[in-house]
Every structure is written in C-alpha cells, then in structure tokens.
C-alpha cells in the first residue's frame, strides 16, 4: 500500500517500475484507502451525524461525509463519499485537507513539490492543471488551483490549494483527493479538465 501525504518525506512507495500500472486502490491517505469501509474508522452514528449536503456537487448516487482530523498528525479534515444506501459504507472518494490560513504562498510551494513527485508516480496518467474561481464565493475573489491525474486503470488523484477571499472567513487549505473509477465516471463523465467539470469535492 502506497501512502499519499502532503509531506514528501512521508510519501512511501514500494515500487516505481514503468511496467506496473498504478491502481488508485493501491494508495492511501493517512492509512485510509479507496474500497475501505467507513465503519473501520467511525461508528455508524458518527457517519450519519456528519452527512452534509455538498453545495458544489449534488448527487443522489453518492453521499458526502465531512469529518474532523481523526487525531491525524498531518491533516486537519477528512471528507468522504460513499454510495448512497450502501450499508457497508464503502469509500469511493477520500479528501485530506491541511489548513494554510493566511499562508497561501506556502500552500502553492507545497503543491508544486507534490506535483513533481506525483507526476513521476503517475507518469502514465492524463494530467490536467488549472485555476478557477471558487463557486461558493459569489464575489469571484476566491480561487481553486488544482492538478488532477486520471489513471489508465481507472479512478484518479487530485491535489490543490484553495485561496479564500477575506470576506468568506474560511481557512485557506491544501487538499489531496483519491477517487474511485466509479465515482469519477459518475461525477465527472467528461474528465477533470473538460468543460465545467472540475474534480474537486469539498466546500
């Protein structure tokens, strides 16, 4: 299992050979992987208590859960998507977030470092990079800078920085996302870089 962390010295990979095709289920964020059950980390009550309506992505097929850091030494927040009515709560998308409040320059530097590392790890993936206005800020002054990797084996990963305007009163942050193949096909049928599609799943 390969670990994705926002600190490069904590990104540990067991192989780097070009003959091996990366599968998103082979990676984890702080010990959590696509395909795991949320019940391995939270009680059913905790899961249900943390279900929220996502203002950016509205879906009946998948349900969104927003949680605290689980005492993580790295991340300040975790977000998950599981298939609605799945009693096993199998994880189809994981987001780990680190707050960079009033320190967006350091977030951007870390993003570039991660991109350099992950572009090597996901060298056969389709890579897309872009910046857009955050849809939650009607003033248009908040932005998302994102890099996504669509894996040939299905699923993908995304990293990015959110730069909130001062009026939004949210902490800036760096996010690391893993998505299952089924989740990406359902939520972003055109791919991350096509049209209005933007593989980002957190408010």
62-108 confidence digits (pLDDT tens) = 999 998 877 788 889 999 999 999 999 999 999 999 999 878 999 99
Query: What does the alpha-carbon distance between residue 81 and residue 63 come to, in Å, rounded to a whole number?
Result: 5
Mean pLDDT of the chain, nearest integer:
82
121-164 confidence digits (pLDDT tens) = 888 888 989 888 888 888 989 999 999 998 888 888 999 999 99
Token pair of 24 as six digits: 């998103």
Q: Is the pLDDT of residue 13 over 60?
A: no
The total number of residues shown for the chain amounts to 203
Sheet holding 2-4, edge to edge: 2-4, 27-29, 32-33
Token pair of 159 as six digits: 């990293």
Query: What does the alpha-carbon distance between residue 158 and residue 180 come to, in Å, rounded to a whole number?
Result: 12
Query: What is this structure's pTM?
Result: 0.85
Residue 101's pLDDT is 81
Exposed/middle/buried for 129, CB within 10 Å: 0-12, 13-18, 19+?
A: middle
Please, what's the b/e burial string for 6-20 (b: 16 or more CB within 10 A of its CB; e: otherwise)?
A: beeeebeeeeeeeee
Q: How confident is the model at residue 19 (pLDDT cuts 50, 70, 90)?
A: very low
Query: What does the alpha-carbon distance between residue 119 and residue 115 come to, in Å, rounded to a whole number?
Result: 6
Strands 143-150 and 62-67, by their bridges, are unpaired
Residue 23's pLDDT is 81
Residue 198's pLDDT is 61
Q: How confident is the model at residue 195 (pLDDT cuts 50, 70, 90)?
A: very low
Angle, alpha carbons 77-81-83 (nearest 5°): 160
Query: What does the alpha-carbon distance between residue 84 and residue 79 come to, in Å, rounded to a whole number?
Result: 15
Task: Reduce the DSSP state of residue 180 to 3 states and report it.
Answer: coil
């Amino acid at each position: 299992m390969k670990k994705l962390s926002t600190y490069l010295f904590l990104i540990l990979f067991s192989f780097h050979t070009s003959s091996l095709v990366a599968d998103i289920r082979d990676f984890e964020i702080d010990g959590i992987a696509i395909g795991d059950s949320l019940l391995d980390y939270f009680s059913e009550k905790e899961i249900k208590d943390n279900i929220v309506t996502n203002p950016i992505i509205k879906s009946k097929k998948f349900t969104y859960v927003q949680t605290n850091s689980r005492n993580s030494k790295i991340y300040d927040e975790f977000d998950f998507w599981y298939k609605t009515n799945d009693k096993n709560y199998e994880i189809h998308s994981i987001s780990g977030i680190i707050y960079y409040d009033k320190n967006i320059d350091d977030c951007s530097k870390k993003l570039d470092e991660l991109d350099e590392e992950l572009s090597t790890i996901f060298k056969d993936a389709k890579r897309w990079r872009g910046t857009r206005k955050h849809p939650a800020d009607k003033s248009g002054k908040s932005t998302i800078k994102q890099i996504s990797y669509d894996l040939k084996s299905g699923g993908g990963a995304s990293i990015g920085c959110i730069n909130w305007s001062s009026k939004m009163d949210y902490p800036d942050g760096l996010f690391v996302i893993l998505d299952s193949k089924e989740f990406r096909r359902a939520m972003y049928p055109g791919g991350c870089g096509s049209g209005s599609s933007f593989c980002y799943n957190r408010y």
